């Protein structure tokens, strides 16, 4: 069994030296447990925060111990009722080839309903984040103008498509390359820009000349500042993530225009997808329908080999992914 340990806590941008590949014996299940041969694992921006030794909404990763995170694989041994070898399960012990799990930490998925990777992306936590953030947290209504950052990423690309399907009048996305901007147009975004091409504030004004009603924030910093500037009165922002500052060693300077929140009566609302599990069934039903009739497309960037999982994680922070970044274990 090969697994990836946290060898040292990164200061600023992580490097491959922060990780170590370790060989351990393949585990055997005790009563109530199962062993899963992982097939795919997720790398996610929030994992960067867990590499710091600070208390947050999830505990920090321990040094010299395997990392963890969303994963999917096949049960190879089971001492738990309701699970048998061959079952495909979703669980939270990625970053290793073989996971030893208590049965309550595993959820069976149906591999005949969708490609299995979809359970880690469009039909999983990623999709629910987009759906709950846009509809529940920001309360998007038909006819509104929506702006989403990191729009070619896993969450962002779904936010834009869901907004269109729910009747948004104008959907704008920002992303980090010309190829990503082109992809956003193909996905049905009304306007898109590369945030390297000029000040975000200016690019957003050009893309949404009449202002925006809803901002889905994945980036923070100058993107959030630009959104506050472009918000119409009573605009709402769902604050999902601030990836632009996850590797900062000093607090970010922007947004400098927070006082506008008062005059425009804006709502900036942070959220965690874990609090929105109540929407899961509605979300899965609706998203499965959109996938079936082709109204939602999703991208995945798949890196091969557990030994390359750290590189996949670093690539995610650098923006090398289109859609969901996954590792084929």
When asked if residue 284 is in the footprint of ligand NDP (CB under 6 A), the reply is no
State the minimum distance, in angstroms, from the CB of residue 313 to ligand NDP. 11
Beta carbons within 10 angstroms of residue 55's beta carbon: 8
Residue number, 75 or 135, with CB nearest to ligand NDP: 135
Burial of residue 20 (number of CB atoms within 10 Å: 0-12, 13-18, 19+):
middle
When asked if residue 13 is in the footprint of ligand NDP (CB under 6 A), the reply is no
The Cα-based distances of 156 to 143, 159, 161, 218 in angstroms read 19, 5, 9, 7
DSSP 274: G
**CA 81/CA 99 separation, integer angstroms:** 17
Grouping H, G, I as helix, E, B as strand and the rest as coil, residue 216 is strand
When asked if residue 240 is in the footprint of ligand NDP (CB under 6 A), the reply is yes
Among 34, 99, 100, 175, indicate the residue that binds ligand NDP (CB under 6 A).
175
Among 35, 39, 44, 170, indicate the residue that binds ligand NDP (CB under 6 A).
44
When asked if residue 35 is in the footprint of ligand NDP (CB under 6 A), the reply is no
When asked if residue 273 is in the footprint of ligand NDP (CB under 6 A), the reply is yes
Among 14, 160, 235, 241, indicate the residue that binds ligand NDP (CB under 6 A).
241
Output b/e per residue, 239-275; b: 16+ Cβ within 10 A.
bbbbbbbbeeeeeeebbeeeeebeebebebeebebee
When asked if residue 70 is in the footprint of ligand NDP (CB under 6 A), the reply is no
Among 219, 237, 296, 327, indicate the residue that binds ligand NDP (CB under 6 A).
219
- Chain residues that interact with ligand NDP, rule: CB under 6 A: 44-46, 126, 129, 150, 152-156, 175-177, 180, 195, 218-219, 240-241, 243-244, 271-273, 316-317, 319, 321, 325
């Amino acid at each position: 069994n090969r697994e990836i340990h946290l060898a040292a806590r990164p200061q600023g941008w992580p490097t491959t030296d922060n990780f170590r590949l370790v060989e351990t014996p393949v585990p055997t299940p005790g009563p109530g447990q199962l062993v899963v041969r992982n097939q795919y694992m997720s790398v996610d921006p929030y994992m960067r925060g867990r590499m710091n030794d600070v208390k947050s909404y999830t505990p920090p990763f321990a040094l010299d111990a395997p990392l963890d995170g969303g994963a999917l694989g096949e049960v190879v041994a089971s001492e738990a009722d309701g699970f048998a070898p061959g079952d495909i399960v979703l669980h939270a012990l990625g970053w290793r080839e073989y996971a030893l799990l208590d049965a309550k930490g595993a959820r069976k998925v149906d591999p005949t309903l969708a490609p299995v990777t979809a359970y880690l992306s469009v039909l999983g936590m990623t999709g629910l984040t987009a759906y709950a953030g846009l509809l529940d947290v920001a309360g998007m209504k038909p006819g509104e103008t929506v702006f989403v950052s990191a729009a070619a990423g896993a969450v962002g690309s779904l936010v834009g498509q869901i907004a269109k399907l729910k009747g948004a009048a104008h959907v704008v996305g920002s992303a980090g390359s010309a190829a990503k901007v082109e992809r956003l147009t193909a996905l049905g975004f009304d306007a898109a820009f590369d945030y390297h091409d000029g000040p975000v504030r200016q690019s957003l004004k050009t893309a949404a000349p009449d202002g925006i009603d809803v901002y889905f924030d994945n980036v923070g910093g100058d993107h959030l500042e630009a959104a506050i500037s472009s918000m119409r009165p009573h605009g709402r922002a769902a604050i999902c993530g601030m990836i632009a500052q996850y590797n900062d060693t000093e607090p970010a300077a922007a947004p400098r225009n927070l006082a506008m929140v008062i005059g425009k009566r804006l709502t900036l609302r942070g959220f965690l997808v874990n609090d929105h599990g109540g929407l899961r069934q509605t979300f899965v039903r609706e998203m499965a329908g959109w996938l079936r009739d082709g109204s939602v497309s999703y991208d995945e960037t798949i890196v091969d080999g557990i030994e390359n999982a750290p590189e996949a994680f670093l690539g995610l922070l650098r923006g090398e992914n289109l859609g969901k970044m996954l590792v084929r274990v």
